[in-house]
């Protein structure tokens, strides 16, 4: 699947020229996305990386799946995209940390916070991923509203791209997974090693 150059950090495992693509659409404040992210990280990702059984055969791409009915969803995805811009190698570690701490960004905990306060909370979370103070400030700067009243922030264009990508591919819920460009509705957040092993064995000729 296509991946514009500025979003290369969203390639979380494998090489860009791998013949098979696993697109994983996750929302940072979706509990089921949180569950699937752990499985992807602990089970599937090692199979795709150097020395794994599917090295050179599969790439895994994180796809931002904004769920606007959750008030903080947009802010969390902006944060992920800002991390991808400032420290590309920290995108997946930050994403995992955010998915593990997602309860702090649920509707009720954020209901009394302003957008500025939510973004500052996300900056504090980013600071926990072994980055410098300058990088944290660069992150904050990307999430500051532009000078025009309705201009968004510096990663708004990337956010628009990810939303349009989901829409044109008919992705409506999180988590969703595409295998080689087609929705794989059989994949569940409850899958473990056995189910993933069977799925990939059927799809990939080792």
| 56-115 confidence digits (pLDDT tens) | 999 999 999 999 999 999 999 999 999 999 999 999 999 999 999 999 999 999 999 999
Q: Which domain holds residue 38?
A: 5-203
| H/E segment holding residue 11 | strand 11-13
Pairing assessment for the beta strands 58-64 and 176-179 based on DSSP bridges? unpaired
7-34 pLDDT, tens digit per residue, is: 999 999 999 999 999 999 999 999 999 9
Collapsing DSSP to helix, strand or coil, 139 comes out as: helix
Total of domains in the chain = 1
Domain containing residue 117: CATH number: 3.40.30.10
The model's pTM is 0.96
Q: Which residues lie below 8 Å from residue 175, measured CB to CB, with a gap of 6+?
A: 24, 25, 26, 27, 30, 32, 33, 36, 65, 189
Residue 206: what pLDDT? Answer: 54
């Amino acid at each position: 699947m296509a991946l514009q150059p500025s979003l290369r950090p969203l390639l979380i495992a494998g090489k860009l020229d791998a013949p098979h693509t696993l697109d994983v659409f996750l929302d940072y404040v979706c509990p089921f996305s949180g569950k699937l992210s752990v499985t992807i990280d602990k089970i599937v990702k090692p199979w795709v990386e150097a020395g794994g059984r599917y090295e050179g055969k599969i790439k895994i791409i994180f796809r931002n799946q904004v769920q606007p009915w959750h008030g903080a969803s947009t802010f969390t995805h902006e944060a992920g995209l800002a991390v991808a811009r400032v420290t590309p190698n920290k995108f997946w570690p930050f994403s995992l940390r955010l998915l593990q701490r997602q309860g702090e960004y649920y509707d009720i905990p954020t209901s009394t916070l302003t957008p500025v306060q939510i973004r500052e909370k996300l900056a504090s979370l980013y600071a926990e991923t072994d980055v410098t103070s300058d990088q944290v400030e660069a992150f904050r700067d990307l999430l500051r509203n532009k000078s025009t009243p309705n201009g968004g922030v510096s990663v708004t264009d990337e956010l628009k791209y990810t939303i349009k990508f989901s829409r044109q591919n008919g992705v409506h819920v999180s988590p969703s997974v595409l295998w080689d460009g087609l929705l794989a509705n059989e994949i569940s957040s409850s899958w473990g090693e056995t189910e993933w092993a069977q799925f990939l064995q059927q799809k990939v000729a080792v």
